[in-house]
Structure formats: C-alpha cells, structure tokens
Structure 1
Amino acid sequence: MNIKIAIFLGSSSDKPIMKKGVDILNKFNIAYKSYIISAHRLPDILSNTIKKVESKGIDLIISGAGLSAHLPGIIASKTILPVIGIPFHNCKNKNGEGSLGGLDALFSIIQMPKDVPVATVGINNSYNAALLAVHILAMKYENIKKLLVEFRMEKKERLLSEIEQHL
C-alpha cells in the first residue's frame, strides 16, 4: 500500500500522544510514515524531509507539537499539502516548565497567519486529527470512503443501542 500520510512530531516523547491517531489510521488501513524532527533544532533537515515527502506523493501531513508548537506551521509554510496540527501538552516531556496546559501550543497552531492555514484539532487529540485525515482521503479514495461510511454507521448503531438500554 502506498504511503498516504506523513506524521511529524517534534520529539520522541510525543509518540504516546500520537498513538490513538495511529490506531485510527491502522483501522482504516491507511499507510503512513512518521518523522521526529524538531522545527527549531533541525530546520534544514525538516525542509529536506518535507521535499522528500512531497516527491513520494503523500496526500497530507499530520503534525503535533507542544509549547510554542511551530512545527505544524513551519511545515505548512513549506508545502501546499494540507496540514493537520495537534497541539500537545506533554507533562512528561516538558516537566511542567513554561507549560500552559497545552493552551500555548493550541494558540500557536490555531493562530496561523493568513495564507498559511493549518487545520487544528483539540489538545492531545490525535484521534480527531487522524479521523479528519480519513475524511479528507475519503474524497479521493473509494476504499477509504467505504470504510468511513461503515465506521460512522457502527458508531451510530452503538449509540442507539446505548440509548435503548437506558429506556
């Protein structure tokens, strides 16, 4: 299967936060490749990697970062591929130093300047980031669209069943 999504994280300590998103991609049989590259410490390597990702035909990018959270925005400034940003709050990584509970990362990603958009999900919500990616890919790939419709129907049936149990 061709890789459809590139995942960029600023630190290896962000991998546990991304796990729910990766689980969703796996559920939909969507191939991805992950990269751990700091936007601030390795900007040249990041730029080169974005060029490689584009040349491989990737459809979109999911990127998560904490604190100043520049990684998704810097990626968006270097590509026309859609970028989905996940603001991270990772106490284990940051030891609470300078952390604002993830609000700093949220504001950094959501307040992108005009002409450089980043779709942004909630703090630590890699699940929704991956599901948004699935929705985007479903417009292009019929097999993913079919799985998405099935997924939504299963969720609906489960909710209706829960309601019936409480009546």
Structure 2
Amino acid sequence: MCVSKDAKVAVVMGSDSDLSVMKSCIRILRDFEIDCEVMVCSAHRTPEKAADFAKNAHIDGVDVIIAAAGKAAHLAGVLAAHTPVPVIGVPIKSSTMDGLDSLLSTVQMPSGIPVATVAIDGAENAALLAVQMLSIAYHDLRHKMLAYKRSLAEKVEKKNEDLQKKLAEI
C-alpha cells in the first residue's frame, strides 16, 4: 500500500493572475497532505518550457497535473499532448466571454489527448478529482476522501437542523 506523502500534483497556471482562483485548489491539496508543485507556464508565451515540463513530469514524480488557463486556454491540452500523466483542466473565467471560451478550449480535445475538465473556476473540484485519482494508488487518500465527504454531509445536516428551528419559529 502506498502512502500519500509520496503523491505529487503539479498545479500549472497560464498566468500569475490565475492564483486568485487556484488558491482553493492548492489549499485542498495541502489539507490532504499531497506534495504540490505550483508554477506559471504559458502554452503560448513559453511553449518549450510547457512541453519540457510535460515530457518530464512522470520522470519527476508528478502523478497528476492540474492546468488552469483563461481565454484561449490551451495550456491543459498542450500539457496533455506531451505527457502520460492525467491532466485536469480548470477553465478560468475571463472578461471576454465569461469563461465560456476557456471552458470550450479546455474540454474540446481531439481523440487521443484527454483532459478531464471541471467547471469554470472549478479549482476545488480539480483538487478533489486529483485526490480521487491518486486514491487508486495511495490508499490512505481514499480514507481521507471518505472522511471529507462525511464532513460535507454533516454540514448539510446541520444546516437542515438550523432551518427546521427557524421554520418552527414562523
């Protein structure tokens, strides 16, 4: 059985402005005690760096890549084209089309180059999807994910209890 201390996720952003969205992703990965490499790398402005990173990701111990980009949002696809490592795309909301352009650029990949894609600005779900992917090999993460989901259910039940108390006062 593997332990998650060996698990590694790379969070790659097309721009440093994407950090405001990706903070929650990084926080969740850290909460699950997953080693997290974070960097800025552009599919268009530093294409050689992006290709080199992706080609060597598996050699460098990266298990999953989370790629966030807005507008043309080609980063996830470029990385996926150069790596055997699973890539999760996070389309970032841009001013141009409210993120729809980013979503379509990320999700519409050609056959043979898959990119798992979450919602526009869906950084938290990207981290949680990475945890679920990693839990296949790192079994302690499965237990942590089950505990996380129980905590979500407990929060909903607490909100329902509070709601029922308010309704009783009406």
Larger Rg over CA atoms: 2
* Equivalent pair of 1:4/1:32 in contact (CA under 8 Å): yes
Separation (CA, whole Å) in 1 of partners of 2:51 and 2:110: 20
Shift, 1:2, TM fit: 3.4
Partner residue of 1:116?
A: 113
Percentage of pairs with the same residue: 38
Letter of the structure 1 residue corresponding to residue 20 of structure 2:
P
Partner residue of 1:6?
A: 10
After TM superposition, the structure 1 = structure 2 runs for residues 1-167 of structure 1, keeping only pairs within 5 Å, are: 1-2=5-6, 4-90=8-94, 96=95, 99-167=96-164
Shift, 1:16, TM fit: 1.1
Letter of the structure 1 residue corresponding to residue 126 of structure 2:
A
- CA RMSD of the aligned region, Å? 1.2
User: Is there any run of 5+ residues in structure 2 with no aligned partner, and where?
Assistant: 165-170
* Equivalent pair of 2:74/2:106 in contact (CA under 8 Å): yes
Aligned length, in residue pairs: 160
User: Is there any run of 5+ residues in structure 1 with no aligned partner, and where?
Assistant: 91-95
* Equivalent pair of 2:57/2:83 in contact (CA under 8 Å): no
Separation (CA, whole Å) in 1 of partners of 2:159 and 2:102: 36
Normalised by the length of structure 2, the TM-score is: 0.89
Separation (CA, whole Å) in 2 of partners of 1:135 and 1:113: 24
Separation (CA, whole Å) in 2 of partners of 1:3 and 1:16: 24
Normalised by the length of structure 1, the TM-score is: 0.91
Separation (CA, whole Å) in 2 of partners of 1:17 and 1:166: 31
Deviates more, 1:28-37 or 1:156-165: 156-165
* Equivalent pair of 1:3/1:33 in contact (CA under 8 Å): no
Give structure 1 regions of 4+ aligned residues with deviation exceeding 4 angstroms. none
